[in-house]
Copies of this chain bind each other. A is one copy, B any other.
């Protein structure tokens, strides 16, 4: 089959890779209907993370082609969505809602879903099937549920976005924008987005943002405080992962408020004293997308939300390299790849 492999910073190639097979009896093999490039794929692509001739991609929707002997709930022919962590969904950690830290978790990045097919471990726990074959125009939204929607949703939940709350969003990439959508769905009263890109501001407003702040860092924080009676937001979503974005998120939060942080942390060191005296709640990490999949897939199936709008560029899988460049150069918010 064809699949993307990263050989060196900036050098991603679509080439022949071995067809996936059932290895464990709990595995499934799916044929991908769509896959995409994640903001976090840009870390190794830019050389910030180590690169080691690795298959790329961890987001996926598709149709089940084979299942192992022990797979009971997922059937050949199902249209399925899964998270970037395979999880058994039965262990104590999964049952508490932290499937991304399942005691048997496997990272789909190691499998590489920017490909025609993929093996999905722990299929019964990992995959959620739609009630039937979705209309083609829903595919981008289901694909978004696989990571960026689930991640933005988790950030909004971790930030305790809800009725009566002012929510601020640091990061105007796909995850931040879908954090806006999540905050809106969760009933937030006011949603403030830090953004200086017109196309992203427009999508943010479409998803439910009520205010845009173009300033960044401490200037952005000062502006947010002006909007919130000097107190800061109740809930802040952090969707970047840098020192600056984390400090902007913490400083934007009122005492006793909540930061939900989902930007994969790179080189961040949180100063203990400032954090201590900030009095905020901090929660985040790799989103347990699986927790939210049934609810999110229902909202998509019922056409209540349209998270697929974050895909503003669609390319054949063969042109994955151009997809990486377009996202790196901010020519695209998020790139969908058709295998």
B284 close to A276 (CB less than 8 A): yes
Within the complex, the shortest CB–CB distance from A291 to chain B, in Å, comes to: 10
Complex Cα distance A254/B279, Å? 22
* Chain B residues whose C-beta falls within 8 Å of the C-beta of A277 in the assembled complex: 285-286
A231 is contacted by which of B93, B256, B268 (Cβ under 8 Å)? B93
Which one of A199-207, A259-267, A312-320 is at the interface?
A259-267
Tell whether A229 is near chain B: CB-to-CB under 8 Å: yes
Tally of this chain's copies: 2
Tell whether A98 is near chain B: CB-to-CB under 8 Å: yes
Tell whether A330 is near chain B: CB-to-CB under 8 Å: no
A281 close to B279 (CB less than 8 A): no
Tell whether A104 is near chain B: CB-to-CB under 8 Å: no
A93 close to B254 (CB less than 8 A): yes
Tell whether A275 is near chain B: CB-to-CB under 8 Å: yes
Known: A98-B256, A231-B93. A279 touches B272 (CB 8 A): no
CB within 8 Å of B: which of A232-250? Answer: 241, 243, 246
Tell whether A271 is near chain B: CB-to-CB under 8 Å: yes
* Chain B residues whose C-beta falls within 8 Å of the C-beta of A273 in the assembled complex: 265-266, 268
A275 is contacted by which of B97, B255, B265 (Cβ under 8 Å)? B265
Tell whether A135 is near chain B: CB-to-CB under 8 Å: no
A272 is contacted by which of B229, B265, B276 (Cβ under 8 Å)? B265
Tell whether A101 is near chain B: CB-to-CB under 8 Å: yes
Give 1 or 0 for each of A216-233: 1 = CB within 8 Å of chain B CB. Answer: 000000000000011100
Complex Cα distance A285/B97, Å? 26
B270 close to A246 (CB less than 8 A): no
* Chain B residues whose C-beta falls within 8 Å of the C-beta of A246 in the assembled complex: 272
Within the complex, the shortest CB–CB distance from A49 to chain B, in Å, comes to: 11
* Chain B residues whose C-beta falls within 8 Å of the C-beta of A113 in the assembled complex: none
A261 is contacted by which of B96, B103, B241, B276 (Cβ under 8 Å)? B276
Q: Which of chain B's residues has its CB closest to A270's CB?
A: B270
Tell whether A269 is near chain B: CB-to-CB under 8 Å: yes
Q: Which of chain B's residues has its CB closest to A97's CB?
A: B256
List A residues at the B interface (Cβ < 8 Å).
Answer: 92-93, 96-98, 100-101, 103, 229-231, 241, 243, 246, 254-256, 261, 264-273, 275-286, 288
Give the 4 A-B residue pairs with the shortest CB-CB distance, closest first.
Answer: A268-B272, A101-B255, A98-B256, A265-B272
A264-B276, A270-B275 known, 9 other contacts, Cβ within 8 Å:
A93-B256, A96-B256, A101-B256, A265-B273, A269-B271, A270-B272, A275-B282, A279-B286, A280-B283
